[in-house]
Chains A and B, each alone.
Chain A
Amino acid sequence: MELIFKKLSQLSAGLLFVILAATTLVLYWSAKPAIEAFGVGFLIETRWGVEEPLVAAGGQLESSDELTGSDSTDGGDDDFIDDEDDFIMDDEDASDDTTREVYGALVPIVGTIFSTLIAMLFSIPIAMGIAVFLAEIASSSIAKPVGVAIELLASIPSIIYGMWGLFYFGPFIASIFGGNTVSLLVAGLVLAIMVIPFMAALSRDAISTVPDMLKESAYAMGATKLEVIKDVVFPYAKAGIIGSIILSFGRAMGETMAVAFVIGGIYQFAGKVTDPTNSIPVVLANSFAESSGLSLSVLFYLALVLFILSFIVIGVAKFYFLRRK
């Protein structure tokens, strides 16, 4: 019995690595044609699905800004993809082609990073305020109902935030800051609102683990409430609080539905925060249905970028904040 239990739990843990490896491999294999076609330049290319005249085989991204007709009929598209396959398989054939379609991830990468940063900028202070209030300041007759409300908010499906953002919040923000009703700013703020309850609930739980005796020790030395929270509670609960921020960051970065409603979905940098732009998950969600061949592979490449981006964020956060223990 003991043995079975032990094996089962080992198996469950092992499954984690299998899933991780399988996900990575599938992403990589599916993205491989696009990686071969565009290389690392994909990350700094700003155009998406634009046909450009082919100067020379392999001479790819640094070519002219001149855009030849980007509208192609369905039939033309299919042809084009066949050509594209030729292009990949056989470089000599490529000289016969006159155009090829260029994909670049920079716009959605920048959109993802900035919408997430805006979300963090607004959500961290507010969520910390809520967490401290619930764990340290509110009496239990207030903390309990507010705590339940927070958990309810955290469980609202993100599409509802998206709809609310599109029909109510976006116009509201536009009326204050001007600009479009769908924009980077609206996306960031909707994300912030979406992750606040999540972050607040997790941080509150972390703060609640601070032993009463430790706080009493600080009070017994003449500390005020603010000093106890600043000098004892936060440092003690640091690991849990940063964990809640990392999880929220990951959630904001990968959020699809809520952002799809309010970011605009156009392949263009937001010159101002009130301009519409795009984000990686939104591109993926919007484009999968009509993609095949290389354009599908490009989406997998983009997904791989998001995957690696999440990894980097979590790795850096863990390394910097949780090193000392």
Chain B
Amino acid sequence: MSNMMEVQNLRFTYKGAAAPSLKGISLPIEKNKVTALIGPSGCGKSTLLRGMNRIHDLYPGHVYDGAIQLLNPDGESYTDILSLKKEAEMIRLRQRVGMIFQKPTPFPMTIYENIAYGLKLSGVKKRADIDEIVENSLRDAALWGEVKERLNHDARGLSGGQQQRLCIARAIALKPEVILFDEPTSALDPISTLAIEEMISVLRESYSICIVTHNMQQAARISDYTGFMYLGEMIEFDQTDNIFMKPSVKQTEDYISGRFG
């Protein structure tokens, strides 16, 4: 089995909510592939994504049920990340499962410090190592040429597209196994969007990727697998070509063809 992650019959209820927002979702995240989640607003795709690195747990009181299996570094066994309790385990999980958000979120520090921040948190101390990883990460994020002269400038001075690529560089500096993208281009212009999309197709070679998008063309362009979600349920999950060319469920077809949603 080459699944990096496997969501198994996940039910998720927000704190104080009467009904669950995810009603028994199952989803594989295949290794070195891009898996896209599409669906109308409020269908639960971001909720699902935020469960996969347990960022939900920053706000106590939400209820999980089911399992999210993550492949251990040995490449054979799995750990259910919903069973993690200790803070140290959560921190380790989030370093293994990186996340990119809807809007660029540069930290209030220099460009260099933004990339080095995660490394310092994870205990990398040698300056030469950090320098090397910073450069490589920026190169992988196609940002090195634009910022190498001003690594000591405040990261908030970059353009929106550059900031988002910086956030990606920051995430890959930690060498995660999975990267979760939560509508990463929703705040960007078409040119910047294209740059991010190209980057994702390159990143696929080294990482397993799950991307939430409300842009169906984007899912069609960059993903290998697509899941269509509606009202907290996974309506259809298949190879992207099948979802867009010959969906097997009527609802999927209606959504793809723009008849609802």
Which residue numbers of A lie inside 8 Å of B, CB to CB? Answer: 211, 213-224, 227, 231-232, 235-236, 238, 324
Contact = CB atoms under 8 A, between A and B. Distances in A.
B61 to A, nearest CB: 9
A317 to B, nearest CB: 19
A218 B58 CA distance: 12
B98 A220 contact: yes
Interface of B: 53, 55, 58, 87, 91-92, 94-95, 98-99, 101-103, 105, 107-109, 117-118, 121-122, 154, 167, 170-171, 174
A219 B53 CA distance: 10
A224 to B, nearest CB: 7
A254 B170 CA distance: 47
Given A220-B55, A221-B95, A222-B95, A227 B121 contact: yes
A214 B105 contact: yes
29 contacts: A211-B103, A211-B105, A213-B101, A213-B102, A215-B58, A216-B99, A216-B101, A217-B99, A217-B107, A218-B107, A219-B55, A219-B94, A220-B171, A221-B98, A221-B117, A221-B174, A222-B92, A222-B118, A222-B121, A222-B122, A223-B117, A224-B91, A231-B107, A231-B117, A232-B107, A232-B108, A235-B109, A236-B108, A324-B154
Contacts of A215: 58
Q: Which of B98, B101, B122 has the most CB of A within 10 A?
A: B101
Contact of B103 (A213, A231, A236): A213
B121 A217 contact: no
A216 to B, nearest CB: 6
Contacts of A227: 121
A166 B53 CA distance: 56
Given A222-B122, A232-B108, A217 B101 contact: yes
B53 A220 contact: yes
B83 to A, nearest CB: 19
Contacts of B117: 218, 221, 223, 231
Nearest to B118: A221
Contacts of B102: 213
A107 B102 CA distance: 58
A299 to B, nearest CB: 46
B141 to A, nearest CB: 15
A287 to B, nearest CB: 48
Nearest to A325: B154
Nearest to A221: B118
A213 B107 CA distance: 11
A217 B108 CA distance: 12
A221 B121 contact: yes
A324 B110 CA distance: 12
A217 B117 CA distance: 11
Contacts of A222: 91-92, 94-95, 118, 121-122, 174
Among A213, A215, A216, A227, which residue has the most Cβ atoms of chain B within 10 A? Answer: A216
Contacts of A213: 101-103, 105
B180 to A, nearest CB: 8
Contact of B108 (A219, A220, A235): A235
Contacts of A211: 103, 105
B188 to A, nearest CB: 15
A225 to B, nearest CB: 9
Nearest to A223: B121
B125 to A, nearest CB: 16
B68 to A, nearest CB: 16
Nearest to B170: A221
A235 B92 CA distance: 25
A214 B99 CA distance: 12
Contacts of A238: 108
A152 B185 CA distance: 45
A203 B98 CA distance: 31
Most chain B CB neighbours (cut-off 10 Å) among A222, A224, A235? A222
The 9 residue pairs across chains A and B that have the minimum distance between CB atoms: A235-B108, A217-B105, A221-B118, A220-B99, A222-B95, A222-B91, A236-B108, A214-B105, A222-B94
A221 B171 contact: yes
Contact of A216 (B55, B87, B154): B55
Contacts of A324: 154
Contacts of B122: 222
B222 to A, nearest CB: 21
A16 to B, nearest CB: 30
A58 B98 CA distance: 77
